[in-house]
Amino acid sequence: MATILLVEDNPDDVSLTLRALKAHHITNDVVVARDGVQALDYLFGTEGRAAPAELPAVVLLDLKLPRINGMEVLERIRAEERTRMLPVVILTSSDEERDVITGYSLGANSYVRKPVDFLQFSAAAKQLGLYWLLTNRAPPTPRAP
């Protein structure tokens, strides 16, 4: 079963996302990275741990992250051959036009503003899950070096 990489530093938003996915019977494993460094370490590996053999089906990426922000994470994902086509959905509270433009310019597949209301957030999580995990056909994953 495909994995979701959730890159989010706010524990409340992590809980909300996990609850919303579970409420809509999206039972895929969710790997949570709490900052940009953890996200990159997960995707590319570290000295002590190799990159995963299979990339996640989708990355749900917040922009305002500690250590390395979401735009920098997106840049790194698009710069590497193995992750270049990995679906990345920016899921953020930012509604700034410059963030939308920059996100798409860097290769985001989608830009979704987090709704404040739980029911709206839950509906958005359901749509994201259904589309990116069931409807979308992801490109094949290049093998790790």
pLDDT tens-digit profile of 58-74? 999 999 999 999 999 99
pLDDT tens-digit profile of 70-122? 999 999 999 999 999 999 999 988 889 999 999 999 999 999 988 777 788 88
Residue 123 · residue 142 · CB < 8 Å? no
Quickly state the pLDDT bin for 142 (edges 50, 70, 90): low
pLDDT tens-digit profile of 29-41? 999 999 999 999 9
The pTM score is 0.89
pLDDT at 143: 59
CB atoms within 10 A of CB 85: 17
* Beta-bridge mates of residue 89: 60, 110
Q: Is 68 exposed, middle or buried (0-12, 13-18, 19+ CB in 10 A)?
A: middle
